[in-house]
Amino acid sequence: MKISEFQKLIKNLYFEQDQIRGIKNTFIWLIEEFGELAHILKSQEIDKNEASEELADIFAWTTSLANLLDIDLEYALFKKYPNMCIKCKSNPCICWK
């Protein structure tokens, strides 16, 4: 699935609810998901299934926020990361070398 397809799916599923919740409260939900992921990652043995679910939630809430802001995520991602490191212009990045 392309990012644009996922963004459309999330918009179709949740946009009405997201509008009612608003940008601020949608952002708060996103931050709560980061907290849940942090809790999983700080444990001695990371449960990859739980981490996977939280990462999916983070991406979904990020997408909801993009929809509320009328931002095309696929375009924004490619613009920011155009198949190369934006600092060293290499793929893979060689900044750390």
Q: What is the pLDDT of residue 97?
A: 84
Architecture of domain 3-80 in this structure: Orthogonal Bundle (1.10)
Interatomic CA distance for residues 14 and 16, integer angstroms: 6
List per-residue pLDDT tens for the chain, 97 residues long: 999 999 999 999 999 999 999 999 999 999 999 999 999 999 999 999 999 999 999 999 999 999 999 999 999 999 999 999 999 999 999 998 8
For residue 96, what pLDDT is reported? 86
Alpha carbons 79 and 60: distance in angstroms, whole number: 20
Helix axes 73-80, 3-41, angle to 10 degrees: 70
- For the chain, the domains span 3-80
